[in-house]
Amino acid sequence: MGVTPEVSPARHLQVLLARVHNPRAVPGRVRARLSDALLCEVEPQGTAPGAVRHGTNRHTFLLADGSVESLWERWQFDADHPAGGPRFEVRLREEEFRAPGGRHSGEHAPSAAVRRRPWSCRGSFDHARRLLRRAANPGRPGEETLRTLSGACGHAITQLPGLRGCPPARHPWCTLYEHAFLLSDGAEVCLYELEHDLTLDGELVCEVYPDVAGAGRAVDRHARARSVEP
């Protein structure tokens, strides 16, 4: 575990958020709490010896009341990155990281595909609530969807191939994720999260749609607004 006493926790947090592509994943209330921490430690999380293309770090902050809080940082080298360096991502919980790669299995996958998913069985409804809470688009799935997912007993996240109209990686950030939820009766419900900075001010935002087609239309709309060629 690496401890850097010469760098204050506030400065450490500032540097961390400056290098990740999604600093808004850490809410202001969390930033304020961690900025007042007494100590920060960084611990790499079990990267295999040959896995030099990606890894995860846990940033643990010791607070004045004796409690600890962590941020999780994932880095991955991207051949399309303009500088040839890694991309960094931060999340409040390790399980919120999206599984790299993966194939699109459709909104209603057959039971065999359901069994193949790497289901996480903890906090699936909380995951759904957090996903919809951070969605910024009008018309996003709402209370009816939450009621359907209230009994979810598993969830899995997959990064999908690029959408038509999504700029390549050297242009503005645009990524699509499938959030699959396993219900108690064996049915599967999927939501599609579009994370992009095709906003007028370049801020990274999250949008959630009930299908891939809706996410694709959003990309086309944002690309036209930013005058980005598909």
In angstroms, the first-to-last Cα distance of the chain is: 44
Distance (Å, rounded) from C-alpha 146 to C-alpha 21?
A: 28
CB 40 within 8 A of CB 59: yes
- Return the pLDDT at 85: 64
- For 133: left if phi > 0, alpha if psi spans -120 to 50, otherwise beta; the answer is alpha
Helix or strand (DSSP H, E) at 54: strand 54-62
CA distance 5 to 41: 9
Written as tens digits, the pLDDT of the chain (230 aa) is: 444 445 789 989 999 999 888 888 898 899 999 999 988 888 887 544 444 567 888 899 988 887 889 999 988 766 555 555 678 889 988 877 765 443 334 333 333 333 457 788 788 999 999 999 999 999 899 999 999 999 888 898 988 876 655 555 444 567 888 999 988 777 889 999 998 877 777 778 899 999 988 888 888 887 777 664 44
pLDDT at 172: 53
* Confidence (pTM): 0.54
Distance CA 10, CA 14 (A): 6
DSSP state of 69: E
What does the pLDDT read at residue 83? 53
